[in-house]
Structure 1
Amino acid sequence: MTDLPFEQFPPLSAIRICRHAFTQRIPGIDVSDDKPEVLKRLSAAHREIRNEMGIADWPLVTAQQIHGNKIAVVDNCSRGPVSREFAGCDGLITNQRGIALGVYVADCCAVYIVDPKTPAIGLVHSGRKGTELGVVTNAITEMISRFGSEAANMIVQFSPCIRPPHYEIDFGAEIVRQCRTLGVKEIHDAGVCTACDLDRYYSYRAEKGKTGRMLALIALNPLAD
């Protein structure tokens, strides 16, 4: 077994069509700088975790993350370079196999969405603002529209995120309500507060903006030869 700092969620691990991870705090890396520099310092460790997952050589697609509600549809034309960031977006959806979706968080929630029947996946960055703007709702409705997914077939998993009393509101509860309204039946919450465990997670609020980022990852497995 590996000692690399990442975790996986049992409900997603049980779905054989995809693989996923949620990175944790990386020991020994100075994260008291601006976000671009911090992500550069974390990139080698994150790549090592992607290698452990068996996806280090797959295209990695990320979102710019502006606390908005736009969703990028990652199709076959998006493969291009090994890494690509979709500007102006906070969520990613795809039905393409062998492409990794990634979002960075440090208190906001990474919301994993899996439709095992179509199959299709989504990954969303949703904090207070994004939740108010319905970013997860948009991702689910886009999966329905673009891929023919059904909300009742979807499995939704929340990453660790900030929660009361360390934050004024419980935006996770609102995401649950939005998912239920759309007809999602299976919703799982890690139930962990990032600000409560700084040995394990980064927290933008608790560390006053000078911190790292956890990387949420999900990808559809290629079809067996």
Structure 2
Amino acid sequence: MTQAPFYLEKINRLPGVRADFIGRIPGVPVDTDREATVERLQPAHQTAVENLGFTWSQLHLAEQIHSADIAVVGKGDTARTWPEVDGLITDQKGLMLGIYVADCGAVYIVDPVKNVIALLHSGKKGTEGNITGKAIRIMQQKFDSNPADLIVALAPCIRPPAYEVDFAAEIHRQVLAAGVPESQFTDCQICTTSDLEKYYSYRVEKGNTGRMLALLAQK
């Protein structure tokens, strides 16, 4: 099993929580057809899911339409791609949340007290809609989460000067504004354009690219 990225260490230290971020897969052809590319990447992504102790049939995905809408995955909900949302929240164990990215930010949120997790796709539009703040509010309202207990991480995403909008900085601000302590937020500080051997970048590769996969679950 490969070691999870350093910026997910705080999350992976939590009992029963599993998190990973799957970067570029060497040798897999990519093109502008997102669905075809994701299908080619699936065997490698499936292996990553299995390395965390889950099966592909336990993976819930978001359709990702660049919105700030979020689905709450409940008990008995079968794994599927949730339509018209860019974030997923659950308090259920034994299922996995997944988000595809290729420049946008994957935001991981874990409440280790109430045992609630959220995984978000926050790019330019999602950040403008404050999907992170919205997820934290839903966790408060539905699961009685206290923002002071939350552990949050931001995965590699595009940043200035490669992109004119610094949505990573705005996500950081939104996390703190929601009441999460600075010490419980980790930004990897990595720009996806900085190393195309490790990451996909939709902007640099002009759409002719793959998708990275953020994963978060509770055993």
Identity level (%): 47
Partner of 2:206: 208
* TM-score, structure 2 normalization: 0.95
Partner of 1:142: 138
Partner of 2:196: 198
Alignment pair present for 1:161 and 2:157: yes
Unaligned runs of 5+ in 1: none
Separation in structure 2 between the aligned mates of residue 204 and residue 69 of structure 1, nearest angstrom: 20
Alignment pair present for 1:62 and 2:66: no
Paired residues of 2:46 and 2:56 also in contact (CA < 8 A): no
Separation in structure 1 between the aligned mates of residue 116 and residue 17 of structure 2, nearest angstrom: 9
Alignment pair present for 1:123 and 2:122: no
The two structures, once aligned, show a CA RMSD in angstroms of 1.4
Partner of 1:189: 187
Partner of 1:32: 31
Partner of 1:51: 50
More displaced 10-residue stretch of structure 1: 45-54 or 56-65: 56-65
Which structure 1 residue ranges, 4+ long, deviate > 4 Å from structure 2? none
Separation in structure 2 between the aligned mates of residue 58 and residue 7 of structure 1, nearest angstrom: 24
Partner of 1:219: 217
Paired residues of 1:114 and 1:122 also in contact (CA < 8 A): yes
What is the number of residues matched between the two proteins? 216
Separation in structure 1 between the aligned mates of residue 2 and residue 180 of structure 2, nearest angstrom: 34
Query: How far is the alpha carbon of 1:10 from its aligned partner?
Result: 1.3
Alignment pair present for 1:16 and 2:15: yes
- The one-letter code of the counterpart of 2:123 is G
Query: How far is the alpha carbon of 1:2 from its aligned partner?
Result: 4.0
Query: How far is the alpha carbon of 1:52 from its aligned partner?
Result: 1.3
